[in-house]
Structure 1
């Protein structure tokens, strides 16, 4: 059986082994989304925020006096707030690029 270049490359990369492994493909998709968002939210140069305007939604370092302390997740604070009244989701986005 003659295989083309595409088939050879796919076999080399092991892509054919992914057939039927829905859970693995879903996990890889979630990880790819997290890595993409972390890279886009990474600070560039002297700028404090990344390429996506408005992300993180709040300043991850500064606390806000109008935020509730230790609030549960809600529509305005997706992961809640910490003991210093900072938005946890903003802190996760701002710090997510560092391990990459």
Structure 2
């Protein structure tokens, strides 16, 4: 069985999820009335930032990996569909969710 998708694409999606998660928690921190809640949201935002750095480091080492595709653009289409189904993959979705 051949590899279908670039590992670097998966890592890029993870970076986007972590970035949007950080935005989400930062927005909640800024809008929270309770000091303890602000502290928790600040901690969670920091964790997302740390995760993002970890994934970026992974991405640097995996950037040259090339998958075999069944048809041109297969991995890109799959990754887009996968990313569209995740909470924090679209720009501003974290802030929009936090406002609800």
Structure (1 or 2) with the greater helix fraction: 2
RCO (CA 8 Å, sep 6+): is it higher in 1 or 2? 2
